[in-house]
Amino acid sequence: MAIFDNANYDFIKWRWHAIALSALVIVAGIGYGITKGVPLGIDFSGGTIVVVKFEQPTSVDQVRAALNASMSGETVIQSYGDDANHEILIRVPQLVEEQGAALEQNALAIVNSITKANLGVFEVRSQEIVGPVIGAELQRKGIYATLASIIGITIYIGIRFRFAFAIGAIAATLHDVFITIAFLFFFGYDLSLNIVAALLTITGYSVNDTIVIFDRVRENLKNKRRDSLDTVVNLSVNQTLNRTVITAGTTFLAVLSLYLFGGEVLEGFAFTMLVGIVSGTYSTIFIAAALATVLSGKQAKARAAGTRKAS
């Protein structure tokens, strides 16, 4: 049984369309980031999040009314997770300088206001307070880790394959990171530690996929010396198409289970992975190898010319 029997699609033909489509999504994402600002979670921007679980059904408006008196600044109040759980998330930005008890002041004020408002029995499910110092530190570390991991992988591929391939692989990886971030923007997710962890995982995953095809290209280049690089790359993408789609499909299903059942805490993480898997598969088929051929274009032409002369 096979999904694609003797697949022979001309993927290379579509490379410019694919690159244009990706560029469109990425530009839209960047445009969103510039106009509306990059939505940072409290991990990076600093601030306080309190998740409260009520025994009785309690509306967001009731909580807002309870907090209005005491909170200043832009307070986000939203229901959290399944409605049946009566959970409400309250987020306030970091307003005060870190002096003594000030950091936890907002969290205390939230709990006190809700207690005073008589909304019935409630429990604080989780409380996160991140000061600006740590926020800035995590921001720096997050960017550093993502870049360093991409550079590390580039070097590895550069050593194991030819340089143009390393560039192709890294372009595909960056592509996946940017596309995923764009989708996070469109769907209103804030960048958090978990999401950066998912992005880093995607860099690994995306390269994984690309390496499989490159390995096949390398092998085919040895055996089919007469064909042009374009032809060999296209052949390799087709030969590995079953594995690409099956792997992506099964991983997607597994992560989908995480998205559906993993709970609110992992929702952003799972969403990021889902988008990353789809984007990674797409970029493997359309972007990575195509870019590698474009980049080694001169080499390929020279080779093709050489073979013509010989024949």
User: Where in 1-20 is the site for other proteins (CB under 8 A)?
Assistant: 1-2
Which CB atom, from 138 or from 285, has the smaller least distance to other proteins?
138
Among 48, 124, 49, 51, smallest CA distance to 81 is for: 51
Which CB atom, from 30 or from 194, has the smaller least distance to other proteins?
194
Site size toward other proteins (CB under 8 A) is 73
1: helix, strand or coil: coil
For residue 184, what are its two tokens?
Answer: 């996070």
For residue 16, what are its two tokens?
Answer: 């410019």
Among 146, 170, 173, 183, smallest CA distance to 29 is for: 183
In angstroms, give the least distance from the CB of 173 to other proteins. Answer: 9
Residues ≥6 apart with Cβ < 8 Å to 78: 60, 88, 89
Which CB atom, from 144 or from 187, has the smaller least distance to other proteins?
144
Contact 273, 198 (CB under 8 A): yes
Binding-site member from 180, 234, 238, 239 for other proteins (CB under 8 A)? 239
Residues ≥6 apart with Cβ < 8 Å to 292: 164, 165, 167, 168, 169, 214, 217, 233
In angstroms, give the least distance from the CB of 215 to other proteins. Answer: 4
**Taking CB under 8 A as the criterion, which residues in 205-234 touch other proteins?**
205, 207-208, 211-212, 215, 219
Nearest 5 degrees, angle CA 102-CA 189-CA 154? 105
Mark residues 22-51: x for contact with other proteins by CB under 8 A, - for none. -----------------------------x
291: helix, strand or coil: helix
Binding-site member from 113, 203, 220, 296 for other proteins (CB under 8 A)? 203
55 contributes a contact to other proteins by CB under 8 A = no
50: helix, strand or coil: strand
Binding-site member from 222, 261, 310, 311 for other proteins (CB under 8 A)? 261
CA-derived radius of gyration, the chain: 25
Contact 284, 206 (CB under 8 A): yes
Tell me which stretch binds other proteins (CB under 8 A): 54-62, 179-187, 254-262, 285-293: 254-262
Q: What does the alpha-carbon distance between residue 230 and residue 77 come to, in Å, rounded to a whole number?
A: 54
**Taking CB under 8 A as the criterion, which residues in 171-190 touch other proteins?**
none
Binding-site member from 174, 221, 258, 278 for other proteins (CB under 8 A)? 258
**Taking CB under 8 A as the criterion, which residues in 89-148 touch other proteins?**
98-100, 103-104, 123-131, 133-134, 137-138, 141-142, 144-146, 148
**Taking CB under 8 A as the criterion, which residues in 138-167 touch other proteins?**
138, 141-142, 144-146, 148-149, 152-153, 156-157, 160
